[in-house]
Amino acid sequence: MARSGAANRVTRMATAPEKIPIRLTVNGNHMELTVAPWTTLLDALRDHLDLTGTKKGCDHGQCGACTVLVDGRRINSCLTLAVMKQGAEIITIEGLAHDGELHPLQQAFIDHDAFQCGYCTSGQICSAAGLIAEGKAKTADEIRELMSGNICRCGAYPNIVAAIQQAKERS
């Protein structure tokens, strides 16, 4: 049944919702934090863990700016509740470089000038890391299709596809 409205909700809530302690592994580091049930993974990363590399674009699953890897798979962190990812392994854009060396995708995005304002870039790169791990995209058409969840308002698409092709070949 559809039922809605904040007004109804107040009367239904018998006791105030409690904050919930969670453990996450973020970029290889064990993190313990306490969040309200409605905290998204995106807000937990940005506001609780100060990892602001992951961006909030639409906050509704429509742009891909918030893409991170959870247990190796790319997802939209804006539609994910942090409490539902208890114990998960999260990789954000901050976790891709190793020992001061850029991830091949980061290097490829620089080599191909695959951004203008850069707002979508961390989501693009995390999404592309997921795409390479999936191993389903072989052609440029397939890269375009499987990267369609990442919108670039600056329209850097041709260079983004070229950068992903370079990183794919070298991975």
- Binding interface with another protein (CB under 8 A): 1-6, 8-9, 12-13, 15-18, 20, 36-40, 59-61, 64, 67, 73-76, 79-81, 83-84, 127, 130-131, 134, 136, 139, 141-142, 144-151
CB distance 97 to 80 below 8 Å: no
The least CB distance from residue 126 to another protein, in Å, is: 9
The least CB distance from residue 10 to ligand FES, in Å, is: 28
Among the listed ranges 14-22, 85-93, 112-120, 133-141, the one in contact with ligand FES (CB under 6 A) is 112-120
Among the listed ranges 9-17, 58-66, 82-90, 105-113, the one in contact with ligand FES (CB under 6 A) is 58-66
In the bound state, the residue with its beta carbon closest to ligand FAD is 61
Distance separating alpha carbons of residues 136 and 12, to the nearest angstrom: 46
The least CB distance from residue 78 to ligand FAD, in Å, is: 10
Per-residue binding string, ligand FAD, 25-64, x by CB under 6 A, is ------------------------------------xx--
Q: Does 158 bind ligand FAD (CB under 6 A)?
A: no
CA 44 to chain centre: 12
